[in-house]
């Protein structure tokens, strides 16, 4: 699997709006055939810090996601909410095996 972790810090006044917009993006992203998971989590000791854990079946499912209307709506909605530039890290699964994601 092609796994992308996105680290995000949001301006405090936008935390609730960011959560709402990102839940909507998550619901729609999971409808993409190439998206096995779209987890959205909030750091326990700092509610302005979030992670997206995006699990794609193949690397070429990422540009398909970026072309989707829901992704572009999300970017337009949240781009002014970031407190700093978001960062990304990339991983492959060791366990579970591909069919269990």
Is residue 50 packed enough to be buried (19+ CB in 10 Å), middle (13-18) or exposed (0-12)? Answer: buried
Query: What residues numbered 8-37 form the site for its own copies, per CB under 8 A?
Result: 19, 22-23, 26-27
Residues whose CB is less than 8 angstroms from the CB of residue 47 and which lie 6 or more positions away in sequence, other chains included: 15
Among 33, 44, 67, 79, binds its own copies (CB under 8 A): 44
Among 31, 39, 66, 72, binds its own copies (CB under 8 A): 39
Minimum gap (Å) between residue 66 Cβ and its own copies: 18
Q: Would you count residue 74 as binding its own copies (CB under 8 A)?
A: no
Minimum gap (Å) between residue 62 Cβ and its own copies: 13
Please tell me the distance from the alpha carbon of residue 13 to that of residue 96, in angstroms, as a whole number: 38
């Amino acid at each position: 699997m092609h796994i992308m972790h996105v680290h995000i810090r949001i301006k405090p006044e936008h935390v609730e709006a960011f959560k709402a917009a990102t839940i909507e993006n998550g619901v729609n992203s999971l409808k993409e055939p190439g998206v096995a998971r779209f987890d959205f989590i909030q750091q326990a000791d700092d509610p302005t810090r979030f992670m997206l854990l995006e699990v794609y079946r193949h690397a070429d499912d990422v540009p398909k996601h970026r072309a989707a209307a829901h992704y572009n709506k999300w970017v337009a909605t949240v781009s002014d909410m970031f407190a700093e530039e978001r960062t990304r890290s990339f991983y492959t699964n060791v366990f579970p095996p591909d069919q269990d994601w």
